[in-house]
Structure formats: C-alpha cells, structure tokens
Amino acid sequence: MALNINNSNNKPKKSISSSQSNLCTILFFIVLFTIPALFLLHTPTTSICTTFANHVKPWSGDLRAAQFAWNRLLFLQYPDQPPPIALKIAVFSRKWPIGTTPGGMERHAHTLHTALARRGHQVHVFTSPNQLGVISTTSSPYIHCHEGEPGRWRYNKAWEQFMEENKREPFDVVHSESVALPHYIARQLPNLAVSWHGIALESLQSDIFQDLARRPNEPISPAFNNTLQGVVPKVLNEIRFFKSYAHHVAISDSCGEMLRDVYQIPNKRVHVILNGVDEDEFGKDLSLGLEFRSRMGVPGNASLVLGVAGRLVKDKGHPLLYEAFTKLISKHPDVYLIVAGSGPWEQRYKDLGPQVLVLGSMSPSQLKAFYNAIDIFVNPTLRPQGLDLTLMEAMMSGKPVMASRFPSIKGTIVVDDEFGYMFAPNVESLLEALEAVVEEGSERLAQRGQACREYATSMFTARKMALAYERLFLCIKNESFCTYP
C-alpha cells in the first residue's frame, strides 16, 4: 500500500480531501505500530540493573533462555585463560576501520573481533574495500576486502569470498553486523548470529523526535514525508524476514524486548550482549585532561567544561544543544563546551564565540584526552536506535553523562541517578538539565564520574563483550556450552 501525504490530482468528492484522508491513514498506521512499541519500550527495565550492586547476576541455566544482558554474567573466573575450543569465525561487516575515522558499528566490529582474535580464535572479516585499497593481513583477524568501489558494500562479492574460504575449512559460526547479509542468504546458515545496531521500529521513533525538534515556523522536511510513506512497510517486512536469522544479538535491553515481543522472535533466539569499549584506550587520566584543556585554550578559571562528540548533524540532537547552550552561556559566561566532531552544525557552534571550542573529527586515541578534559559528557541524540559508544567511553573515562531519555539509554547506560542526568529530547528539558549541572559544580560531577567508571568497568569493557560473544558462538557450535555456569 503506497502512502502519500502530497495533494492528489483527483478532485475531492467528499468534505474530507484526499490529502487529509491519506494523512489520516498515515497517522493511523503510526498509532497502530508506534504507540504499542513506545509503551513496550517504556516498560521499566532498570530492575535488573539495580538489583545487584556489583552488577554480576547470580543465575544458572540455559543461556539461551536469559532475557537480560549477558554482560552481567561472569563467564570465566580467570579471563586470561584460553577458550575451551578455538573457533573459526566469519564476520560480515559493511565497513572495516582501516585508515579512517570509523563510525560506531565499525568500531564495535573492530573492537569485538580483534579481542576474539587475541583470545586465539581464527577470525575472517569479509568487508568492502576502502580508500587505501585492498588490505590483506597475515594474522587473525584476516581481512577479506572484496573488489569494487571503496566504501560500497557488495554482499554477493563478499559471499563468494566466504564460500571459497569455507571450502578450505568450514566456519564454526557466522556473524553479521546488522543486515550485512540479506535474509535469503542468512536463512541458509543455521550457525548465523546477527547483531542489531538499529531496527526500523526504533528508526520510526527517531523520525518522530526529529520532526518534533522543528521550530514553529520551520516547514516539514520532504524527507520526513518520504520516510513516513516507507517506514510502516519496512517494519512489517522486518518482522517477517527477521525470523530467517538463526540467532539475534540485541545491543540493548530494550531492543531485546522489542525483538521478542513485537518482532515475535522466540526467546531462545534473542540474546542481549551490550557493546564494549577498549579498556586500554579509555581510562581516567587527570594530567592528560589538564594538558588537553590548556592546549585547547580553556581558561583556568572556567567553572565547568561540557563535552559532546560525534557527527554534527540534526539526528544527533545538535539543534537542541546549540539552542540550549546559547541560552545557558548568556547567564553563565564561565561555562565552556568542547565539540569533538564535524558536520553541518560545525560552523554554527564556532559562531557562538570563545566559549565553544570545535575540534573536528578525532581518532579514538585523541578522544581519550578529550574525555579526560571535560566535567560531563552530553549526548542530545534524537536517535533511539542502537547504543552510542560515546556514552560508554565517557563513563570508562570517569565522567558522568547527560543523555536523552530513551529506553535504550535509560535501561542500559544511565541505570542509576548517580550516573548523571537524563532529559526529554527538547530544548526546554535539556536547558533545565544544563542549569542543574552548573549549579551542582565540577566537584560533585567528579564524584558521579567515579561511580560511572566503576559501573562501566564491570559492564562495558571489550573483554566482557568478547567473552559474552565467545560463549554465544561456542553455544552455537555445541549445545553443551549453552549451560551456565
């Protein structure tokens, strides 16, 4: 069914115009699919998070029946001991971060599979070529770049490479980063696990929040109209074809609930494993942060330094932060904002004056200094889907966070009020939170940061994530590994 809110060429024959009728149809579908999902997503998910002070869940049974994040389990008493079986793992990832500033999904794939390779598993990554050309590696993880245009993913070419390598020695498990493999190929693989970094139902919420961020006199984006026409069929298609994937990995507790309850995936095929960040790259370093502040030109008498990182685009919430911070500094001239990222909003931030320092895109090694230089990390995202690694990186660096009140963030990241502030995705709520942070001051924020660091090191490390995925892959290989402990 094609949905269109543009004017029809047919003349109206009733009091209700064609465009109004079509708009009502769209709104009906939005209510039909979105409201139940919003109700589901706002079901409290923090009980698991707050029940155990040490964040380790005392649980036993079939891991496939667990409906909480596997990061809460202690898989090895001695994490450095080798795995019981060395697996041969195939990874399908649209991009691999070689010589570029990677996005969140690529960083996740690189962190995870590098960690698995270090544990002795034979990892083969099938990915697109990059600007540096075809990169070959002589040790695990082995990178297989298919031929073609840099950055353009051609799954059929990657599949051919996979089949050649599979003939030499069959893979024990296949891992797809989101829809790197289409469902008609995926259903051929009973040993496949797919990690979802965002699903269509969450994307619909994102589109709604972005439109709500419009100014009163700002017209509706044509892209928003086009999205509405296609998103409901996309959700329906996802619900139908997701069943073709043998195992689903949700990267947040709320996504796991949606896959089970809305997408109707059987419980034992949905596994929640949170993303992790490299604990060697992100950590607390006071001297590094002070040196970075000085080098960037933050004056010594600054009362508070806020930080934001990522692409400077609308869906990351920069219209909200720009307007809220503009109002904040009119009252607090000694508050500073450091912006790590590039995009359309870069120049607008620069125009705010010396209280905003715009640094452009930064590598993970540079981000370590950035996180240590700020008092609190702000993530005003308008995208409920996925789980932003920047929040985890900031917490690993000992910083509290301020984030949009979305179920994925509330139920997985900011699971305790001590970890920071949450706000509704609008300017008024964000400004209220910013005012509260200014009133609280840097000393109190440092105490919150320590609590964040303790939680993050128990939940969000690359090692914890890799051990959870390893156990899942072992379980796929042999059911005897599905029993915990």
Distance CA 346, CA 35 (A): 35
Q: Which residues contact 380 (CB under 8 A, 6 or more apart)?
A: 308, 316, 317, 318, 320, 321, 324, 403, 404, 425, 430
Taking the CA atoms of residue 217, residue 222, residue 226 and residue 227 in that order, the dihedral angle to the nearest 10 degrees is -50
Helices 104-118 and 389-396 cross at an angle (nearest 10°) of: 60
Distance CA 421, CA 436 (A): 9
Given its phi and psi angles, is residue 180 left (phi above 0), alpha (psi -120 to 50 degrees) or beta? alpha
Taking the CA atoms of residue 31, residue 34, residue 39 and residue 40 in that order, the dihedral angle to the nearest 10 degrees is 140
> For each of the chain's 485 residues, which pLDDT tens digit applies?
333 333 333 434 444 344 444 544 444 444 444 444 443 444 433 333 343 345 666 899 999 999 999 999 988 777 678 999 999 999 999 999 865 566 778 889 999 999 999 999 999 999 999 866 555 677 999 999 999 998 899 999 999 999 999 999 999 999 999 999 998 999 999 999 999 998 888 878 778 888 888 888 888 877 777 777 778 888 899 999 999 999 999 999 999 999 999 999 999 999 999 999 999 899 999 999 999 999 999 999 999 999 999 999 999 999 999 999 999 999 999 999 999 999 999 999 999 999 999 999 998 789 999 999 999 999 999 988 778 899 999 999 999 999 999 989 999 999 999 999 999 999 999 999 999 999 999 999 999 999 999 999 999 999 999 999 999 999 999 999 999 99
Structure letter (DSSP) for residue 257: H
| Contact predicate 244/400, CB 8 Å | no
Report pLDDT for 172. Answer: 98
Distance CA 251, CA 264 (A): 17
Specify the pairing of strand 270-272 against strand 247-250.
parallel
Question: What's the token pair of residue 234?
Answer: 């996309």
CA distances from 440 to 182, 212, 304, 436, 448 (A): 50, 30, 10, 6, 11
286-459 is classed in which CATH architecture? 3-Layer(aba) Sandwich (3.40)
Distance CA 241, CA 243 (A): 5
Report pLDDT for 44. Answer: 39
Taking the CA atoms of residue 388, residue 104, residue 381 and residue 282 in that order, the dihedral angle to the nearest 10 degrees is 50
CA distances from 188 to 80, 177, 245 (A): 35, 17, 9
> Using CA of residue 147, residue 153, residue 158, residue 160, what is the dihedral sign?
negative
Of the candidates 385, 422, 428, 26, the one whose C-alpha atom is nearest the C-alpha of residue 206 is 385
| Contact predicate 145/98, CB 8 Å | no
R_g of the chain, CA atoms, integer Å: 23
CA distances from 212 to 33, 178, 314, 424 (A): 18, 28, 12, 11
Distance CA 466, CA 274 (A): 10
Cα 410 to the center of its chain, rounded Å: 13
Report pLDDT for 6. Answer: 37
Distance CA 18, CA 7 (A): 7
Report pLDDT for 319. Answer: 94
Q: Which residues contact 32 (CB under 8 A, 6 or more apart)?
A: none
Of the candidates 134, 92, 135, 136, the one whose C-alpha atom is nearest the C-alpha of residue 113 is 92
* Residue spans per domain, the chain: 46-85+172-276+462-484, 286-459
Using DSSP's 3-state secondary structure scheme, residue 18 falls into: helix
Residue type, 221: S
Output the DSSP codes for 55-110. Answer: S-----EEGGG--SBGGGS---SSTTSPPSS--EEEEE-S---SSS---HHHHHHH
Phi first, then psi, for residue 177 (nearest 5°) are -85, 105
Of the candidates 48, 180, 70, 169, the one whose C-alpha atom is nearest the C-alpha of residue 475 is 70
Report pLDDT for 483. Answer: 97
Cα 120 to the center of its chain, rounded Å: 27
